[in-house]
Structure 1
C-alpha cells in the first residue's frame, strides 16, 4: 500500500499485492529442495509420507529463520523414515546463498508488485519518503536488499513487521469505536465500478484506487426509439467487456417518456460511503423519476478474488482492448446508420433521388458488414457513409437557397445538423459541463 500521511490524516493512495505470495511459498520451496537432497542421498521419496512432510516443513521454517541472522545452517531430522536397511536420518547443510538462489523469483515478483502499486498511486519511486516492512518474511536479508535497491534507501525498521498489521487494526478499531479521535484514515476502492453500455462494454464510473467516500455521476441515453425503461447493470472489475467483470446488482428504471433514441437523459450516480457501502441511483432528467440499489461491502469480493481479477485484467489487456474497440466501431456504425436513415427521412422531397441513392447504397453496405468481425472494414465503410452523408446537408442548403442540388460530396464547411455523429461517439456529459450524452445500450423492458 502507498500512503500519504499528514498531521492527522492517513490517505491510502493505492493498494495491490498477491495474497498467495508470502512466507509459506518460501517454506514450500525449501521443502522441495530438502526432499530432493534426501532422495539423492538415500534414494527414498518421502513425498507420500505425511509425517515426514510435516517434520520437513517445520525444519524448513526453522532453517529460513536461522538464515536471516547466519550464513549457513544445518537441517537435521533423525529417524525421518525407514528404508530397506533400517531407519534413515536426514542431515544436510543449507547456506543463505542457496536460499536466495531458490527464492530469487519470488523476491523479484514482490518487487514487481511494489513497483506497480507505486505507479498506480501517481507517485515516482524517488518520491517515497519511508518504507515500512510488513510481515515476518521481510526480515529476510535478500528481501531487505531488494527493497533498498528499488527505493535507494534503507527501509524503516522501527516497527516490528510481525505486529504492524495488528497495531494498525487496533488503531482503526479505536477510530471506529470513537476512542481514537486524532487520526483519520481515508481508504480507496480496490477495483473500478461501472455499468454495462452499448455493445456489452463496461463503462467505468469510479476508477480503482479512488479515495472513499466519493460520489460520481454520468449521463447516458437510450439506444432505441420509444424506449420507456432501462436496466442498470452494475459491474466491478478492470476488464473492458461486461461479461468478464463481476456483477454487483441490477435494477430497472421505467417510466421514461417515449422519444427518439439519444434524446432521453438518464443520470447514473455511484456513491460510496466511508464503510465501502455502494449506493447506485438512476434518474430520468425529464420526469425526475428515479430508482436506486444499495450494495453492502460484504457482498463484494475477497482479497484473493480482487487480486485474481487484477491479474486477469493485466493478462488479457490486449485482447480486451481489441474487443472494446470492436464494440465501439459497431456502436458507431449503428449510430451512423440511424442518423443517415433519419436524415433521408427528414429530407423528403427537398433532396433529389440521385443525391439520396449513394447514401442509401452506403447504408445498405454498412448494414451488411456491421455485424461481422472485420473491425477495419466496418470502420472504413462507416467513414465512407459519413463522407457521402455530407451531400444531404449540401443539397438541403442549396434547396433552401433556391440553388440546383448536386450529387457532390462537398459541403464539409456547411454540414447540416442532421448529419451530426450519433450521441454514442460523444463523451459523457459531466455535471454542469458541456458535452454530448453517451448513448448506452440499456435493455428495454416491456
Structure 2
C-alpha cells in the first residue's frame, strides 16, 4: 500500500511519523534514532551524507557540511559545500529523500505521499520552496501546514472539550506563536505571529561566543577568528546547554578538542545555568512581542488562554519554561514530546487527507496581508492577515490616466501602508484595457490562497475580458528575517504611515476633483455663465495652492468648500463631474512591469 507520512522538516532535526490504526507513531531512521539531524555533507569521493554522519563532519569545520538551511528557504540565497553553491531547496530535498528511504525501510513498502510542516510565519516563497523540495525528493506533497497547527492537532485529536490553545513553538531556527480554537474535532487557527530569525541555534551561538570570550580572557586565544575551533566549541556548548536543561550546573571542558590553546594551557569551567540564562536573556525577551501581537490579533488576553503548549526542542530550556509560566500565569502543558509533536500532528493531517482519520476539520490562516500597489504608492489590501484559508477575494481597480491601455500590477505582502515598505512578491502586466477617460475602465484583481498557503493572482479587464495572471517567483521574495519584522515595523511606524496615507489619499481625491471641475469649465457644452466659470476657476486655484503645500486636513477642507459651491450648479452641470474613490486607482507604468525598487 502506498503510505502517506507526516514530516517535520526542522532547522536542527527532521522527524517523520505515520498513522496506523488511528494513532500516529514516530518512524525511526536507518540508525534506529527518532531524530535525524538536518545536516548535509559531501565527501571528497562524491558521496552525499545526511543526518548524523553529516553532523560529525560539520564538527570539523572543514566546509563540506552545512546545517540550518531552513532559515534560507525561499530567499534566493545559496550556501557553499566544498566550494560549490547549493540551494537550501536542494539540501532540503536531500534530507527529505533520506527520510523517504528510511520510512520505506521501516514500513516495508513505498511511501510516495507526505504532509510537510513549516513555521507558521513562513512567507509564500518559503512555503513554495518547501513544497518543491518535497517533490524533488519524490513525494507527492499532500499539504504544507504550519508547525504550531500540527502540534495542536497532535494535542487535541481525541479531546472533546472546548479549549483555546496557544502554541509556543521554539525550534532550532524559528519561533512561532499560534492561537487555535479546538472544539469537537474542529481546529480553527485564530491568529499567528513569530520571528523567523530566532531559535535554539541562536542560544547555541550566543553561548559559544560567551565561552570564546572566556577562553580569550584566560588563555589569550581568539577562537572567534578560527572557524574550525569555533565549530568544535559550538558542539561542546550545545551539549552543555542540554545538560543545563537537566541540572543547575555542568562541566565545560575543551581539553579533548583539537584547539591550540597554547603550551600546557587548557580550559575547564563549571558552568552554572544562571550564567547561561544571563548570557541569553535578550534572546528570551524576543519571545514576548510576537506573543502579545498574536493575543491582540485574536482579541484575547492572557486569561483567555485555556492551555499553553510548548513545542520545539529549545523549549526544554528551564528559562524558557519559567518565562512561559510567568507570562501566561499558568503551568505550560509538558506531556507532549516537544521534539516529536509536530511530526505526530503532520501524520494526523496526512491521516485526515487519506481518510484514515475521520471527523476532524483543520482551518488555518494567512500570516500577512496580501494586496497590490495602488495610486500614490499606497498598499491596497485585498486579503487581510489572519484570514482563514483556503480563501479568495476580488476587488475592482480603475485606470489612473486618460486612455490608459495597460496596467502594471505589483503584488505585495505585509502590513505597512506604503507599498515600498512591504514585501514584493512579483509584478505582472494586464494589456488590452479600453482607452477610456481616467477612472472609467474597470479591472478586477483576484487573489486566491490554497490550503498550503500558496498564492495566485490574476487580473481581468471587465470591458474587454482580457486576462493576465502571475506565477509568483520565489526568487523575488525578500529574506525570511525581513518577514518576521513586518508586524513590528508596522506597529512602530503606524502613526507615520497613517499620516502619509491620509496625505496621499487627500491629494489624489483633490486631483480627481480639480480635473473634473477644470473639464467642466473648459467644456463648451456645459454653457456655464462667465461669472460662474470665473468663480469655479478661483476655487480651483485655491485648491491647487493648498494641494502644493497644505496638510491632509487643509486639502480636505478646501475641497469640501469647492464641493459645497458645486451644489449650486444645475443638475446637468453636476452630472458632468466624475470623481472616483482613490482606493480603486491602480498605478500605470511607462515601461514593462517590475517591482518598485526598495
TM-score normalised by length of structure 1: 0.80
Q: Is 2:428 the counterpart of 1:250?
A: yes
1:140 shift after superposition:
1.5
Q: Work out whether residues 230 and 254 of structure 1, in 8 Å CA contact, stay in contact via their aligned partners in 2.
A: no
Paired position in structure 2 for 1:27: 204
Cα distance in 2 between the residues matched to 1:392 and 1:312: 42
1:233 shift after superposition:
3.2
Where in structure 2 are there 5+ consecutive unaligned residues? 1-177, 593-598
1:274 shift after superposition:
2.2
Cα deviation 1:69-102 (Å, max 9, x = unaligned): 2222221222664456x22111212212222222
In structure 2, which of residues 554, 565, 574 is the aligned counterpart of residue 391 of structure 1?
565
Could you say what secondary structure the match of 1:88 adopts?
A: coil
1:440 shift after superposition:
3.5
Cα deviation 1:154-175 (Å, max 9, x = unaligned): 1111110111222222223334
Q: 1:111 to 1:357 in 2, by over 3 A?
A: same
Paired position in structure 2 for 1:433: none
Q: 1:156 to 1:420 in 2, by over 3 A?
A: farther
1:137 shift after superposition:
1.4
Pick which of 148-157 and 2-11 moved more. 2-11
Q: 1:136 to 1:382 in 2, by over 3 A?
A: closer
Paired position in structure 1 for 2:222: 45
Cα distance in 2 between the residues matched to 1:267 and 1:26: 48
In structure 1, which of residues 223, 235, 245 is the aligned counterpart of residue 400 of structure 2?
223
Cα distance in 1 between the residues matched to 2:261 and 2:373: 63
Q: Work out whether residues 393 and 419 of structure 1, in 8 Å CA contact, stay in contact via their aligned partners in 2.
A: no
Paired position in structure 1 for 2:467: 291
Q: 1:10 to 1:253 in 2, by over 3 A?
A: farther
Could you say what secondary structure the match of 1:341 adopts?
A: helix
How many equivalent pairs are there?
412
Pick which of 30-39 and 209-218 moved more. 30-39
Cα deviation 1:269-296 (Å, max 9, x = unaligned): 3222323343434344455x25142536
- CA RMSD in angstroms, aligned pairs only: 3.3
Q: 1:39 to 1:328 in 2, by over 3 A?
A: same
Q: Work out whether residues 325 and 332 of structure 2, in 8 Å CA contact, stay in contact via their aligned partners in 1.
A: yes
Q: Work out whether residues 189 and 210 of structure 1, in 8 Å CA contact, stay in contact via their aligned partners in 2.
A: yes
Could you say what secondary structure the match of 1:123 adopts?
A: coil
Q: 1:69 to 1:419 in 2, by over 3 A?
A: farther
Could you say what secondary structure the match of 1:15 adopts?
A: strand
In structure 1, which of residues 123, 137, 149 is the aligned counterpart of residue 326 of structure 2?
149
Larger radius of gyration: 1
Paired position in structure 1 for 2:293: 116
Cα distance in 1 between the residues matched to 2:357 and 2:466: 39
Cα distance in 2 between the residues matched to 1:87 and 1:375: 75
Could you say what secondary structure the match of 1:423 adopts?
A: coil
Cα distance in 1 between the residues matched to 2:316 and 2:550: 53
Where in structure 1 are there 5+ consecutive unaligned residues? 401-415, 429-437
Q: Work out whether residues 196 and 233 of structure 1, in 8 Å CA contact, stay in contact via their aligned partners in 2.
A: yes
Q: Is 2:55 the counterpart of 1:55?
A: no
Which is strand-richer, 1 or 2?
A: 2
Paired position in structure 1 for 2:213: 36
Could you say what secondary structure the match of 2:309 adopts?
A: coil
Alignment of 1:149-298 (within 5 A): 149-244=326-421, 245-256=423-434, 258-286=435-463, 289-293=465-469, 295=471
1:220 shift after superposition:
2.5
Q: Work out whether residues 359 and 389 of structure 1, in 8 Å CA contact, stay in contact via their aligned partners in 2.
A: no
Q: 1:151 to 1:421 in 2, by over 3 A?
A: farther
1:204 shift after superposition:
0.5
Cα distance in 2 between the residues matched to 1:297 and 1:12: 27
Could you say what secondary structure the match of 2:509 adopts?
A: helix
Q: 1:300 to 1:238 in 2, by over 3 A?
A: farther
